[in-house]
Structure 1
Amino acid sequence: MLDLAGELRRWIEEGREFAVATVVAVGGSAPRGPGAALAVDSAGTVIGSVSGGCVEGAVYDLCREALRTGTSVLERFGYSDEDAFAVGLTCGGTIEVLITPVAGPAATVLASALSAAARNEPAALARVARGPAELLGRALLVRSDGTYEGDLGGHPDLDRTAAAEARALLEAGRTGAVDLSASGARRGSPRTESGGGSHCPAGVTLLVESNVPPPRMIVFGAVDFASALARAGKFLGYHVTVCDARPVFATRHRFPDADEVVVDWPHRYLSRTGTDARTVLCVLTHDAKFDVPLLKAALRMPAAFIGAMGSRRTHEDRERRLRSEGVTEAELARLRSPIGLDLGARTPEETALSIAAEIVAVRQGGTGVPLTGSNTPIHRDSAAPGRSAAA
């Protein structure tokens, strides 16, 4: 539900009563992952989506019913060959949806979580998705320092363990499910993203939604391709920075879609800005005096994706220069060059699409091959970051 934080926070400030339906777990070819949400207020206004349209009508009715009764429910939707016209997912997958009225003991916690998400503060919202009926929807808001507010309504150790598990997922930037016993004992490992698998029969399953700042895309080289890639990066949910050492090219006017435009030598800027496991680095300069010191540093830093533009001859020369600078074969294996998937791209916009497609494929574990005629899954389990990411 944190992906609707801005609008839902406004609803709270206006005093609206509403219910939220959140995807808890998915199986097979389900259209949206855990954390996807739909909300309905008492006037019937609806925002968000849990399935891309397949079961929205039924979920809408369940939200209206939750507003009437004040109770949370967990509902499963799937496809039935015996009744193909029943409410379900025509794509053949399954989803479990938690419907929670924003009222009662959890209302204050949910309001705090929405406020934190709207302010883009790191925080994790842990809610009881499976377990005793009286605990469904109970929530904890866990902050990055480990402090938390709210309670899950069970054993005191349940809150402490849940807070620790939620904080671990927050630090990893993940959304996932955690199984705990009624007394708070840990069961199994977190089930991130897909949320599939069996749940703890004698305890509770928590859905933990992490709100973290958007991942960064740093584009080096103030060229036309960079302008198009900045637009694509923003569309994918990245915080985009364009960096170039030439002030005449690195201007806000030329890169209106970038969050930042930095005039500095690329390797110097990279060393002082830092990266993390979600950062995407795109080197579009294809100039050795910029590329070599930059990539030498980048290949030794954490990053989700490091790609460089250039012809195959440029790439071979770049690798030779990097080896002479002491870059190892293991480090070079992290470099994706020439950058992008083979789409036959020509224009800056087509090239940006090619690069963006490779970034998504790497992040989600995709193959990049056409789905037509292949047996690869359309939706796959992923260890990708949770909300905001760019997911």
Structure 2
Amino acid sequence: MLDIAAELHEWVRQGRDFAVATVVAVDGSAPRGPGATLAVDTGGEAVGSVSGGCVEAAVYELCRQALRDGRTVLAPFGPTADDPFATGLTCGGSIDVLVTPVPRTSPARSLTARALAAAANGRPTALARPLPSADTPEDPRPLLVHPDGAHEGTLGGPPELDRWAAHEAAALLAAGRTGTVPGCPSTGRPALFVESSAAPPRLIVFGAVDVASALVGLGAFLGYRVTVCDARPVFATPARFPAAHEVVVDWPHRYLERTEVDARTVLCVLTHDPKFDVPLLQLALRLPVAYIGAMGSRTTHEDRIRRLRETGVTEHQLKRLRSPIGLDLGARTPQETALSIAAEIVAVLRGGAGPPLTGGRTPIHHDAPGRVRRPELRPPGTARTSPRNR
């Protein structure tokens, strides 16, 4: 539900009763991933989406039913090829949707409200919820987890269970990921669904050039917190980069030394000038960031690689460098070049290769590296069905 935290935070403030339906697991091709949420209030108003349209009506009715009977349910939706009248996914994949009522009378309402308020105001937070099974309570309680692992609420078991759940949720939050954590019946640990609302990942663009202006806008559109850094104050100005969250005047390598980066950070080096590029990349290639790309011709790239080797950068580190930066789209203009760079960033982070989908047989949706896989939520051999054709 943190996917639509701002809207639900307002619903809580207004005192509305509502139910939320959240995608908790995906197999194969599906329009949206874990964390996608549809919410419905008692008046029938809906916000959000779980599938882009193909199962929205059925999920809407499940939310209405949850508001009437107060029960949390886990509903699977799969392909509908065998039944043209069934509700299901047309893309061939399958999803599990967790439907949870959140009335004002619920004991978990205040904890949920705190999670929504934190997410709506940009504060990192995670919400861990047990997935329904024969061993979970009729009304499972959530756990609110902070980045340092501190937690509020309880799953209802011994303290060790809450500590385990908080540890797992904090790890997902640190990675900015939402997903399922398998349970363990022998230890009494239930399968958990953890929703993370992390701070936006960073995109740092080095070089206040024309391509940077277009790339900043695309980066902000993709959800990054964008910084532009250049040592030349005449070019590095907020007026030239209105879509950037910050514009820094400093030598690139000095700024990278003092700023905070993590495993989700993207670095784009557009200066294509050795006096900026080499000391910057010498440092960047040693950092645990998600993507490092550098602009320049193939001749510039070969010279840059030679200079980096001379500084002691290893071959293993050099393999991390995407240069010349971007996918081969035949780009000519700064805007087209920025698009090719953004496309490569998405491909690298999502595990894509960049070929046309037409005529191909590779999956349209790729698993992100390190993604938490869905646990088995139903007895082996049970067919996956939609609520209408169960």
**TM-score, normalising length from structure 2?**
0.91
- Kindly indicate whether residue 258 of structure 2 is the aligned counterpart of residue 255 of structure 1: no
Partner of 1:346: 332
SS at structure 1 position matched to 2:108? helix
Gapped regions of structure 2 (runs ≥ 5): 373-390
- Kindly indicate whether residue 146 of structure 2 is the aligned counterpart of residue 143 of structure 1: yes
On the 8 A contact 1:158/1:183 being kept in 2, the answer is no
On the 8 A contact 2:18/2:39 being kept in 1, the answer is yes
On the 8 A contact 1:54/1:87 being kept in 2, the answer is yes
Amino acid at match of 1:208: V
Question: Sequence identity, in percent?
Answer: 67
On the 8 A contact 1:63/1:99 being kept in 2, the answer is yes
Aligned with 2:362 (options 361, 364, 376): 376
SS at structure 1 position matched to 2:299? helix
Partner of 1:361: 347
Q: Which region of structure 1 is more displaced relative to structure 2, 144-153 or 204-213?
A: 144-153
CA drift of 1:184 comes to 4.7
Equivalent-residue separation in structure 1 for 2:335 and 2:147 (angstroms): 38
Partner of 2:121: 119
Equivalent-residue separation in structure 1 for 2:167 and 2:212 (angstroms): 41
Partner of 1:51: 51
Gapped regions of structure 1 (runs ≥ 5): 186-202, 387-391
Equivalent-residue separation in structure 1 for 2:228 and 2:100 (angstroms): 42
How many residue pairs get aligned? The number is: 369
- Superposition pairs for residues 55-94 of structure 1, below 5 Å? 55-94=55-94
Amino acid at match of 1:76: P
Give the superposed CA RMSD: 1.7
Amino acid at match of 2:14: E
On the 8 A contact 1:9/1:118 being kept in 2, the answer is yes
Equivalent-residue separation in structure 2 for 1:274 and 1:124 (angstroms): 21
- Kindly indicate whether residue 280 of structure 2 is the aligned counterpart of residue 317 of structure 1: no
Equivalent-residue separation in structure 2 for 1:84 and 1:138 (angstroms): 38
Partner of 2:388: none
Equivalent-residue separation in structure 2 for 1:135 and 1:295 (angstroms): 54
- Kindly indicate whether residue 178 of structure 2 is the aligned counterpart of residue 175 of structure 1: yes
Partner of 1:220: 206
SS at structure 2 position matched to 1:226? helix
Equivalent-residue separation in structure 1 for 2:118 and 2:187 (angstroms): 26
Amino acid at match of 1:247: P
On the 8 A contact 1:157/1:184 being kept in 2, the answer is no
On the 8 A contact 2:80/2:87 being kept in 1, the answer is no
CA drift of 1:385 comes to 7.7
Equivalent-residue separation in structure 2 for 1:384 and 1:55 (angstroms): 28
- Kindly indicate whether residue 155 of structure 2 is the aligned counterpart of residue 152 of structure 1: yes
CA drift of 1:43 comes to 1.5
- Residues 94-139 of structure 1 deviation map (CA, whole Å, 9 limit, x = unaligned): 1110111113122122111111111222221001123236345421
Partner of 2:166: 163
SS at structure 1 position matched to 2:191? strand
On the 8 A contact 1:278/1:385 being kept in 2, the answer is no
On the 8 A contact 2:9/2:117 being kept in 1, the answer is yes
Partner of 1:272: 258
Partner of 2:34: 34
Amino acid at match of 1:161: W
CA drift of 1:49 comes to 0.7
Amino acid at match of 2:26: V
**TM-score, normalising length from structure 1?**
0.91
- Residues 240-269 of structure 1 deviation map (CA, whole Å, 9 limit, x = unaligned): 000011111111111000000001111111
Q: Which region of structure 1 is more displaced relative to structure 2, 246-255 or 136-145?
A: 136-145
Equivalent-residue separation in structure 1 for 2:325 and 2:161 (angstroms): 47
Partner of 2:223: 237
Amino acid at match of 1:131: S
On the 8 A contact 1:174/1:384 being kept in 2, the answer is no
Equivalent-residue separation in structure 1 for 2:187 and 2:90 (angstroms): 38
SS at structure 2 position matched to 1:232? helix
